[in-house]
């Protein structure tokens, strides 16, 4: 039974879906004005592992991830004191392109990175610009119900009308009065109110007609409108990075719950930040790495994925190249083992011994059941690799097919793409011949056979007791 930490209740809870067998999950996606960095990748890896684990247990997961293609503020900007220039427009002007061209380019780049990182594509990636009518409808409902007000073509949410404001982040009105940083605007009734719709200045490129003004939506409304559109009033799971908790997710709850009268999301799951030298990795600070940077240094996307999984999603992770070296080494040993087990033909002696996979499956599941403890789940995989290698070295592996399948299942749940090769029988025969030569201490013949295998595109690595591992060059 999966227990997951819920930011809303501040405790680990047993996961129970609203509808048996089906799960609706929403993830706040990227603002598409630049390449995503590996901190963003970390935030998208958590829901991916969660989804994969739930699917493994037989749930049908409907996953929605929005594309923010109208460039509102983010927490980064507030932290940097930015007053809210539309980032997509800024980039468009700088590159002499249209905002659409910028958004599509970086959306494609984002999708490509997710693919390389083996992050399952969401069933749908709704774009904010295609859902302005739904946002307008929700804002109209909020005005009708008295939760929002219009002034000079701008519409704001009145947080004093929602007594539960602050229930996710702890930033209740009492606390806010003492001092959180706020978006300033002369038309606001209360300084902590937030924008639902803003009248566009003349030079603004992206603007839409609305009952209040020709303008553009506020920072938070797109997620409320699009999640309701594709998943209904109440979501099972909502995910994001920890910087999304306030004000973004707090505002989503306020808008959605006031508009629908229903609870917005049962579980809130937040990935803590990826840090560089103790500071949050972020676009605005310029201290970030992209997947391209990682690949340039010779690491594979799967090594990055393994490095990310080596830290629990709820602990801050400090990015170091050393951690990537370690991850690449672990990945290589998993892949080598996979290669070996794919091609392992049990001998007579092997048939008397099996590796008990049930213990590993139990430990693996227990690790993920405990708030997606991926570092522990990875250690179970590495234990399986060590144990399995030892049994093969000793000629005591009677069930390679079962072990292979177990490893494949674990890898699928964690989203690790395994790279195994099926070695042609011809090469195996040569390797066996070489083993015999080595056993008979005929090292000249052994070297000749090694060269022959090498010429045919394979490398033979010697293990204990004249055993060997064949790899592709
Ligand atoms: P953004 O494009 O800045 O809105 O970020 C997209 C997602 O990545 C959001 O869920 C953020 O919370 C998350 N995120 C941003 N920076 C980091 C970081 N350094 N570590 C982890 N997640 C992050
Ligand atoms: Zn969102």
- Domain residue ranges in the chain: 18-271, 279-414, 425-472
Q: Which helix (H) or strand (E) holds 194?
A: strand 194-199
Q: Quick one: pLDDT at residue 227?
A: 98
Q: What atom of ligand 1 comes closest to residue 241's alpha carbon?
A: 12
Name the residue at shortest CA distance from atom 12 of ligand 1: 241
Q: Closest-lying ligand to the alpha carbon of 65? A: 2
Mutation choice for ligand 1 from 91, 169, 243, 287, CB with most ligand atoms inside 8 A: 243
Per-residue pLDDT averaged across 12-32, rounded?
97
Q: Closest-lying ligand to the alpha carbon of 244? A: 1
User: Cβ(23)–Cβ(267) under 8 Å?
Assistant: no
Name the residue at shortest CA distance from atom 14 of ligand 1: 40
Q: Which residues line ligand 1 (CB under 6 A)?
A: 28, 30-31, 39-40, 42-43, 74, 76, 240-241, 243-244, 271, 273-274, 280-282
CA distances from 127 to 64, 71, 238 (A): 11, 12, 17
Q: What atom of ligand 1 comes closest to residue 75's alpha carbon?
A: 3
Read off the pTM: 0.92
Give 93-98 contacts, CB < 8 A, sequence gap 24+: 98/205
Q: What atom of ligand 1 comes closest to residue 28's alpha carbon?
A: 10
Tokens of 13: 């809870």
Q: Quick one: pLDDT at residue 4?
A: 98
Is residue 63 pLDDT above 60, yes or no?
A: yes
Task: Read off the pLDDT of residues 161-204 as tens digits, 9 standing for 90 and up.
Answer: 999 999 999 999 888 876 555 557 889 998 889 999 999 988 88
Whole-number average pLDDT of the chain: 92
Per-residue pLDDT averaged across 210-217, rounded?
96
Where does the pLDDT of residue 123 fall: very low under 50, low under 70, confident under 90, or very high at 90 and above?
very high
Distance 19 CA to ligand 1 centre (A): 30
Report the relative pairing of strands 274-276 and 235-241 from DSSP bridges.
unpaired
Torsion angle of the four alpha carbons 14, 18, 22, 27, in this order, in degrees rounded to the nearest 10? -80
Q: Closest-lying ligand to the alpha carbon of 110? A: 1
Task: Read off the pLDDT of residues 361-406 as tens digits, 9 standing for 90 and up.
Answer: 999 999 999 999 999 999 999 999 999 999 998 999 999 999 999 9
Name the residue at shortest CA distance from atom 8 of ligand 1: 40
Per-residue pLDDT averaged across 419-443, rounded?
90
Q: Which residue has the tokens 């602990």?
A: 315
pLDDT cut 70: percent of the chain above it: 95
Distance 371 CA to ligand 1 centre (A): 20
Q: Quick one: pLDDT at residue 181?
A: 57
Where does the pLDDT of residue 90 fall: very low under 50, low under 70, confident under 90, or very high at 90 and above?
confident
Where does the pLDDT of residue 82 fall: very low under 50, low under 70, confident under 90, or very high at 90 and above?
very low
Distance 80 CA to ligand 1 centre (A): 15
Task: Read off the pLDDT of residues 456-465 as tens digits, 9 standing for 90 and up.
Answer: 999 988 877 7
pLDDT cut 90: percent of the chain above it: 78
Distance 40 CA to ligand 1 centre (A): 4
Distance 245 CA to ligand 1 centre (A): 11
Q: Quick one: pLDDT at residue 73?
A: 56
Name the residue at shortest CA distance from atom 7 of ligand 1: 40
Where does the pLDDT of residue 88 fall: very low under 50, low under 70, confident under 90, or very high at 90 and above?
confident
Distance 66 CA to ligand 2 centre (A): 8
Q: Does domain 279-414 have CATH number 1.10.357?
A: no
**Which range has the worst mean pLDDT, 228-242, 306-320, 342-356, 455-469?**
455-469
Per-residue pLDDT averaged across 56-65, rounded?
98
Sign of CA dihedral 347, 349, 352, 356: negative
Tokens of 339: 């290669």
Q: What atom of ligand 1 comes closest to residue 240's alpha carbon?
A: 10
Q: Closest-lying ligand to the alpha carbon of 276? A: 1
Q: Which CATH class is domain 18-271?
A: alpha beta
**Which range has the worst mean pLDDT, 49-53, 250-254, 466-470?**
466-470
The environment of the single-atom ion ligand 2, i.e. residues with CB closer than 5 A, is 28, 223
Per-residue pLDDT averaged across 223-247, rounded?
97
Phi and psi at 274, nearest 5°, equal -90, 130
Q: Quick one: pLDDT at residue 87?
A: 82
**Which range has the worst mean pLDDT, 109-123, 201-215, 300-314?**
201-215
Distance 81 CA to ligand 1 centre (A): 18
Distance 124 CA to ligand 1 centre (A): 20
Q: Quick one: pLDDT at residue 74?
A: 54
Name the residue at shortest CA distance from atom 18 of ligand 1: 39
Is residue 466 pLDDT above 80, yes or no?
A: no
Distance 162 CA to ligand 1 centre (A): 27
Q: What atom of ligand 1 comes closest to residue 275's alpha carbon?
A: 19
Q: Closest-lying ligand to the alpha carbon of 219? A: 2
Q: What is the DSSP string of 374-419?
A: HHHHHHHHHHHHHHHHHHHHTT--S-HHHHHHHHHHHHHHHTPPP-
Mutation choice for ligand 1 from 32, 40, 42, 278, CB with most ligand atoms inside 8 A: 40
Is residue 306 pLDDT above 70, yes or no?
A: yes
Mutation choice for ligand 1 from 241, 252, 268, CB with most ligand atoms inside 8 A: 241
Tokens of 258: 């006031």
């Amino acid at each position: 039974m999966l227990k997951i930490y819920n930011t809303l209740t501040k405790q680990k809870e047993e996961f129970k879906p609203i509808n048996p067998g089906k799960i609706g999950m929403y993830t706040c996606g990227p603002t598409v004005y630049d390449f995503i960095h590996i901190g963003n990748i970390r935030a998208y890896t958590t829901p991916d592992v969660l989804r994969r684990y739930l699917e493994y247990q037989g749930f049908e997961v409907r996953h929605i991830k929005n594309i923010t293609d109208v460039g509102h503020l983010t927490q980064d900007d507030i932290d940097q004191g930015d007053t809210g220039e539309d980032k997509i427009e800024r980039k468009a002007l700088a590159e002499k392109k249209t905002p659409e061209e910028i958004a599509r380019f970086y959306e494609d780049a984002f999708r490509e990175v997710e693919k390389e990182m083996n992050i399952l594509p969401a069933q749908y990636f709704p774009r904010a610009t295609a859902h302005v009518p739904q946002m307008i409808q929700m804002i109209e409902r909020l005005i009708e119900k008295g939760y929002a007000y219009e002034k000079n073509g701008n519409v704001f949410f009145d947080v004093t009308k929602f007594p539960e404001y602050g229930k996710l982040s702890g930033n209740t009105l009492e606390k806010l009065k003492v001092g959180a940083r706020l978006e300033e605007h002369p038309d606001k009734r209360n300084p902590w109110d937030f924008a639902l719709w803003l009248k566009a200045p003349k030079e603004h490129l992206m603007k839409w007609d609305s009952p209040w003004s020709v303008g553009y939506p506020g920072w938070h409304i797109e997620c409320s409108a699009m999640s309701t559109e594709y998943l209904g009033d109440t979501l099972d799971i909502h995910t994001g990075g920890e910087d999304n908790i306030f004000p973004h997710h707090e505002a989503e709850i306020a808008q959605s719950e006031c508009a629908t009268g229903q609870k917005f999301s049962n579980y809130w799951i937040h990935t803590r930040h990826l840090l560089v030298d103790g500071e949050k990795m972020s676009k605005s600070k310029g201290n970030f790495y992209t997947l391209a940077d990682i690949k340039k240094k010779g690491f594979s996307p799967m090594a990055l994925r393994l490095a990310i999984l080596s830290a629990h999603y709820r602990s801050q992770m400090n990015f170091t190249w050393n951690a990537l070296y370690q991850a690449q080494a672990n990945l290589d040993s998993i892949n080598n083992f996979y290669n070996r087990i794919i091609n392992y033909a049990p001998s007579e002696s092997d048939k008397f011994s099996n590796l008990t996979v049930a213990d590993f499956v139990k430990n693996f599941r227990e690790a993920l059941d405990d708030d997606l403890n991926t570092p522990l789940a990875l250690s179970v995989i590495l234990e399986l690799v060590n144990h399995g290698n030892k049994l093969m070295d000793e000629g005591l592996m009677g069930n390679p097919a079962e072990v292979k399948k177990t490893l494949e299942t674990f890898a699928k749940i964690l989203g690790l793409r395994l790279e195994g090769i099926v070695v042609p029988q011809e090469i195996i025969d040569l390797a066996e011949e070489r083993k015999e030569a080595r056993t008979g201490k005929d090292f000249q013949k052994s070297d000749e056979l090694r060269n022959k295998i090498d010429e045919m595109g394979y490398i033979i690595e010697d293990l204990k007791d004249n055993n060997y591992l064949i790899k592709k060059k």
